[in-house]
Structure 1
Amino acid sequence: MDQTDSYPVKLYIYDMSRGMARQLSPLLLGRQLDGIWHTAIVVHGKEFFFVGEGINNCPPGGTPLGEPDSIVPAFSTLYGLSVFSLNVCVCLHLFSLFFLIWVHRVDTYNLFEHNCNTFTNEVAQFLTGKTIPSYITDLPSEVLSTPFGQALRPLLDSIVINPGGNNITGQR
């Protein structure tokens, strides 16, 4: 396939703390965090993400989070819209029956282990063969490695993030 047969895949990165992590993390955690990351994959005109209600989508930048803090356009996929619709939209449903069933069901959402970033990483690998940046995927273990992170874990485990969108997994 030549270059015209590839389609852009963008990584949308949002700082859920709106800059507060950068300011407060040295005091609370003893180390600098640049943000508390929520990520999504944008492909074929839709933003796909995983939240407490399951796998959702919306127009790019269409969540209540507004515009992303950064966009990484360094991905591309060979899946055209029709193949994407068949192999990703439907496959996301099948994904939830196969791979995502144990990682990205409504009842498996967990702020630290099964969150939007693990979903985005898996979808990025599926579509492009590339992973999202490790500073995003390593953030939960970085927070939990601190005494403050361990003390807050019971509270943080009860938090479910839902920035809106259309649920495409038929859950909730």
Structure 2
Amino acid sequence: MEHCATFPVKLYIYDLSRGMARQLSPIMLGKQLDGIWHTSIVVYGKEFFFGGEGITNCPPGGTLLGDPDAIVDLGTTEVTEDIFMEYQCSLGESTYRADRYRLFEHNCNTFSNEVAQFLTGRKIPSYITDLPSEVLSTPFGQTLRPLLDSISITPPGGNFSQR
């Protein structure tokens, strides 16, 4: 039997609030949030993420966010880079086009979760995927929703990754 090559798969986790969520959430939401999470998948020596410009990749840790706050080892994959890039292209043309980005329902974490399952069969931690519903379950979250829905994480015309 031929041995398949395996590739490590990691989840990079960033707190977009840089610690502010932890400090302000009890006052504003009446519940403790540890962060406002942005995630990406690192595999084949690249960091892949979804935002206001669609699916993007850069060298690991190469986004404007700098080094991740945490890295979760999701295991390994036998999916080849070619097959993965075809999968990325199909996602980028359908489910994860830039105009499909929604801060609460369809964001970087939705993307990371789907890609993690494709590559490893594992989901990303639920404290990340459950965050939007936790925020929206609060009166303040409901009040902020129209404003937050209008925000795209990627600045218009700007790229999330450093060149």
Aligned to 1:148, which of 140, 146, 151? 140
One-letter code aligned to 2:144: L
Q: What does the per-residue CA deviation read over 1:54-84, in whole Å, with 9 as the maximum and x for residues that have no partner?
A: 00000000000000000012321112xxx22
One-letter code aligned to 1:164: F
Asked whether the 8 Å contact 2:40–2:109 carries over to 1, the reply is: yes
Residues in 2 aligned to 1:108 and 1:48: alpha-carbon distance in whole angstroms: 17
Aligned length: 158
Going from structure 1 to structure 2, the CA distance change for 1:2 and 1:66 (only over 3 Å counts) comes to: farther
SS in 1 for 2:83: helix
Asked whether the 8 Å contact 2:91–2:97 carries over to 1, the reply is: no
SS in 2 for 1:135: helix
Q: 5 Å matches for 1:43-62?
A: 43-62=43-62
Q: What's the CA shift for 1:134?
A: 0.3
Q: What's the CA shift for 1:3?
A: 8.8
One-letter code aligned to 2:92: S
Q: What does the per-residue CA deviation read over 1:22-80, in whole Å, with 9 as the maximum and x for residues that have no partner?
A: 0000000000000000000000100000000000000000000000000012321112x
Q: What's the Cα RMSD here?
A: 1.8
2:67 corresponds to which residue? Answer: 67
Identity in percent = 66
TM-score of the superposed pair, with normalisation by structure 2: 0.91
1:169 corresponds to which residue? Answer: none
One-letter code aligned to 2:17: S
SS in 2 for 1:5: coil
Q: 5 Å matches for 1:129-140?
A: 129-140=121-132
Residues in 2 aligned to 1:2 and 1:14: alpha-carbon distance in whole angstroms: 38
In structure 2, runs of 5+ residues without a counterpart are none
Residues in 1 aligned to 2:3 and 2:17: alpha-carbon distance in whole angstroms: 38
TM-score of the superposed pair, with normalisation by structure 1: 0.87
In structure 1, runs of 5+ residues without a counterpart are 167-172
Residues in 2 aligned to 1:69 and 1:34: alpha-carbon distance in whole angstroms: 12
Residues in 1 aligned to 2:91 and 2:15: alpha-carbon distance in whole angstroms: 27
